[in-house]
């Protein structure tokens, strides 16, 4: 039944639907001036760098807490340190992968 519905919906889409419906209009931040464009890039880059720095510090802190708890045999701190290290490592990985995502969206949009 769902196959029939999908086939019917796809058959209703015109063949030339992949044409450029915006007639070449693309997003352009330089409409506000190149100075605004450069400042906007610097502000976003600064926040991005700050977030990566906080993630790296959190990762080092979590790994240090985990290692100290492992050394002293404190099981409560061991779980807390490993949880902090995992969260910070995941956040750092997401922030680093964000570069690829933004470049892919930019390549598709432009």
Write down the pTM of the prediction: 0.64
Task: Please report, in angstroms and rounded to a whole number, the separation of the first and last CA atoms in the chain.
Answer: 39
pLDDT of residue 99: 85
pLDDT of residue 24: 67
Residue-wise pLDDT for 62-77, tens only, equals: 999 999 998 998 888 8
Instruction: Give the gyration radius of the chain's Cα atoms.
Output: 24
Any domain includes 7: no
Distance (Å, whole) CA 59 – CA 82: 9
Any domain includes 36: no
pLDDT of 23 above 80: no
Any domain includes 22: no
Between 22 and 54, the more confident residue is 54
Any domain includes 103: yes
The total number of structural domains in the chain stands at 1
pLDDT of residue 49: 93
Domain residues for the domain of 109 are: 52-110
């Amino acid at each position: 039944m769902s196959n029939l519905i999908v086939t019917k919906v796809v058959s209703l889409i015109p063949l030339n639907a992949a044409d450029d419906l915006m007639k070449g209009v693309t997003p352009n931040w330089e409409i506000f001036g190149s100075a605004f464009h450069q400042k906007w890039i610097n502000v976003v880059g600064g926040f991005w760098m700050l977030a990566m720095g906080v993630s790296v510090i959190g990762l080092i802190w979590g790994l240090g807490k985990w290692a100290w708890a492992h050394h002293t045999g404190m099981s409560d701190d061991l779980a807390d340190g490993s949880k902090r290290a995992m969260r910070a490592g995941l956040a750092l990985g997401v922030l680093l992968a964000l570069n690829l995502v933004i470049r892919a969206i930019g390549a598709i949009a432009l």
